[in-house]
Amino acid sequence: MSYSTTPPPRRRWAALAVLLVAEAMNLLDATIMTVAAPVIRAGLGGPASSIQWFSAAYTLPFAVFLITGGRLGDIVGRRRVFRLGMAGFVLASLGCSLAPSTAALIALRAVQGSAAALVIPQTIGMIRAMFTGPALARAMGTIGPVMGLAAVTGPVVGGALTQADVLGSSWRAVFLVNVPLGAAVLAATPLLHEDRAALRPRLDHVGTVLAVLGSSLLVYPLIQGGAHGRPGWCWAMLAAGGVVLAGFAAHQRRRARGGRSPLIEPGLFVERGFTAALVSSVLFFAVVGGLMLVAVLQMQLGLHRDVLSAGFTLLPWSATMALSSWVAGAWLVPRYGARVMSVGLLALLAGVVSAAAVYATSPPASYPWLLLPALAVAGIGQGLYAVPFFTTALHRVRPHETGSAAGLLNAVQQLGGTLGVALLGSLFFHAAAPGDPTPAAAALTGARNAFCLAAALIVATAVTTAMMLPRRPSPTIPDQPFVPDATVR
């Protein structure tokens, strides 16, 4: 049950367009940042790890605050929280465009990610409150194509805006583009449908703090430790992060036993398949998020190609991912169900191994043209895997746990992308150390190493994905697919 008033049909579809723009802004901001990050670091200075922090500072708070953002919408109203988050996102974007230093930009990116965590959970909730039956299926079906379009255009738009250097803005234009889009969304929020839970949960402040602290203790040493040779404090922080997250799990169980609202329903972990899905999500999105950054780094830092060339290098991956997602959702998944995931992982592994071979054999100073078809195959694999993954992961979740499970899956997806940027990015920089006399050859080595590790992670993903499925798998999965709140960068 929820508190709501259903708007007339024409207004509902106009409101849907507003929500889709907000969803697309989040993905555009992330993909634009992937290609612009090396240029930003060149302009503002700072250590090489700054490039990783430009992404991680956004996705880490976005991941850990997603569930809290959803709860706030339940408590005070989804439209109200949506407005607050969008206003914060616009102001943070403006601040990013004016950032005078690397530290200031990283801090403002964290504010951006926190604001996005208020916006994104409300979009799916408001869509489900406004539409029912076949209209809901049509409305939910619009999300995939819009996200696919954003994924395709993001790297190219980021490269074009940075390369154009409009009025001397250089990389600052990639943040300024959010300001008119966000202002238009804010102006259109009266169209949105107010909705909140009839039984309002309470916020878990202690759980939120533990989640933020534990995740930060894991991510920080992965990014910063490589520059210092992985000293003792790095391993100590990783161990402390594990302890804090274990404490978070114990805290969630205590809240549930006491009849209070936990951030995560402990009953989710009784089912082996859902736990395996969480591990699969971390591994898979670590591969996707980390490799896109590594491909851009090799182009810009190794070959000294401009940002537009880097953006077009990612285009085959983004385009085939969008196309294969559409094909999987429209035809393959309804017919073959969860088995499509295996085909997706095989294609992703083939693309990643082929890319590693290209990096291993290409002349250091030449553009690796054979990389483009390899990335295209990887994009096909990403789309084929991601579409059935979320619905399969939620297939055996009990109805009262669906909201918590969906929020946790989205949060873990973002955390996986953050860890991928940290781990694979650090592996790249370890080989392509600053000041190397042969930066092109070192960058090829770093990219090859990162892609080889990613191949191993894909094999591990195949193992955990197999554990998601029942012992006697059904050839089909539910006919209404679950759409993740945000696509990882």
134 and 110 inside one domain: yes
pLDDT of 152-191, one tens digit each?
Answer: 888 888 888 888 887 778 899 999 999 999 999 999 999 9
C-alpha dihedral sign at 451, 23, 169, 318: positive
| 427 close to 454: Cβ distance less than 8 angstroms | no
Which H, E and C letters describe 222-276, residue by residue? HHHHHHHCCCHHHHHHHHHHHHHHHHHHHHHHHHHHCCCCCCCCHHHHHCHHHHH
Q: Which amino acid is at 236?
A: A
Same domain, 70 and 22: yes
Is residue 243, in this structure, part of any structural domain at all?
Answer: yes
Is the per-residue pLDDT at 27 higher than 70?
yes
What's the rounded Cα separation, in Å, for the pair 135 and 228?
55
Q: How many CB atoms lie within 10 A of CB 165?
A: 12
Q: What crossing angle do the helices spanning 78-97 and 9-44 adopt, rounded to 10°?
A: 30
Mean confidence (pLDDT) of the chain: 86
In terms of average pLDDT, the best of 143-147, 326-330, 387-391, 414-418 is: 414-418
Q: Do 72 and 147 share a structural domain?
A: yes
**228 confidence band (pLDDT: 50, 70, 90):** low
Distance from C-alpha of 256 to C-alpha of 90, rounded to nearest angstrom = 36
Is residue 47 a part of any domain in this protein? yes
Residue 479: inside a domain, yes or no? yes
Query: Does residue 28 sit in the same domain as residue 170?
Result: yes
Tell whether 221 and 161 lie within a shared domain: no
Q: Print burial letters for 459-487: b (CB count within 10 Å at least 16), e (below 16).
A: eebbebbeebbeeeeeeebeeebbbbbbb
Element (H, E) at 460: helix 439-468
Query: How many domains are there within the chain?
Result: 3
The more confidently predicted of residues 82 and 227 is 82
Residue 421 and residue 275 in one domain:
yes
Choice among 269-278, 378-387, 449-458 with the minimum mean pLDDT? 269-278
| Shared-domain flag, residues 253 and 378 | no
Integer Cα distance of 257 and 255 in angstroms: 5
Q: Give the pLDDT of residue 446.
A: 94
d(CA 58, CA 467) in angstroms, rounded, equals 31
pLDDT at residue 478, rounded to an integer: 46
Lowest pLDDT segment from 24-38, 110-124, 175-189: 24-38
Q: Which residues pair with 197 in a beta bridge?
A: 2
Pick from 1-5, 69-73, 269-273, 400-404: least confident? 1-5
192 burial type by CB count under 10 A (0-12 exposed, 13-18 middle, 19+ buried):
buried
Measured between alpha carbons, how far is 487 from 320 in angstroms, rounded to an integer? Answer: 15
Domain membership flag for residue 280: yes
Half-sphere exposure at residue 174, Cβ-oriented, CA atoms within 13 angstroms: 34
Q: Is residue 200 part of a domain?
A: no
333 and 452 share one domain: yes
Match 């339940």 to its residue by tokens. 74
Query: Is 213 in the same domain as 166?
Result: no
Where is the domain boundary, 157, 188, 219? 188
Question: What's the confidence (pLDDT) of residue 114?
Answer: 95
- What single letter denotes the amino acid at residue 99? A
Average pLDDT for 307-329: 90
Instruction: Please indicate, yes or no, if residue 193 is contained in any of the structural domains.
Output: no
How far is the first Cα of the chain from the last one, in angstroms, to the nearest whole number? 34
- Residue 199 resides in a domain: no
Distance of CA 56 to CAs 44, 220, 289, 418, Å? 17, 9, 10, 5
In this structure, what is the dihedral angle of CA atoms 105, 304, 310, 168, given to the nearest 10 degrees?
50
Asked if residue 220 and residue 360 are part of one domain, the reply reads: no
Q: Which of 52-66, 298-312, 388-402 has the lowest mean pLDDT?
A: 388-402
Pair (312, 453) in one structural domain: yes
Does 414 share its domain with 361? yes
Whether 198 is in a domain gets the answer no
Residues spanned by the domain of 279: 267-489
Neighbours of 136 (CB within 10 A): 15
- Contact between residue 281 and residue 416 where contact means Cβ atoms under 8 Å apart: yes
E strand or H helix at 24: helix 9-44
Domain boundary among 153, 188, 223: 188
Q: pLDDT band for position 471 (50/70/90)?
A: low
273: amino acid identity, one letter: G
CATH of the domain at 396: 1.20.1250.20
User: What sign results for the dihedral spanned by CA atoms 177, 180, 185, 189?
Assistant: positive
What's the pLDDT at 346? Answer: 98
DSSP 8-class letter at 88: H
Chain Cα centroid distance, residue 64: 12
Q: Which of 188, 223, 252 is the last residue of a domain?
A: 188
What pLDDT, in 10s, does the model give residues 246-267?
A: 999 899 889 988 888 788 878 8
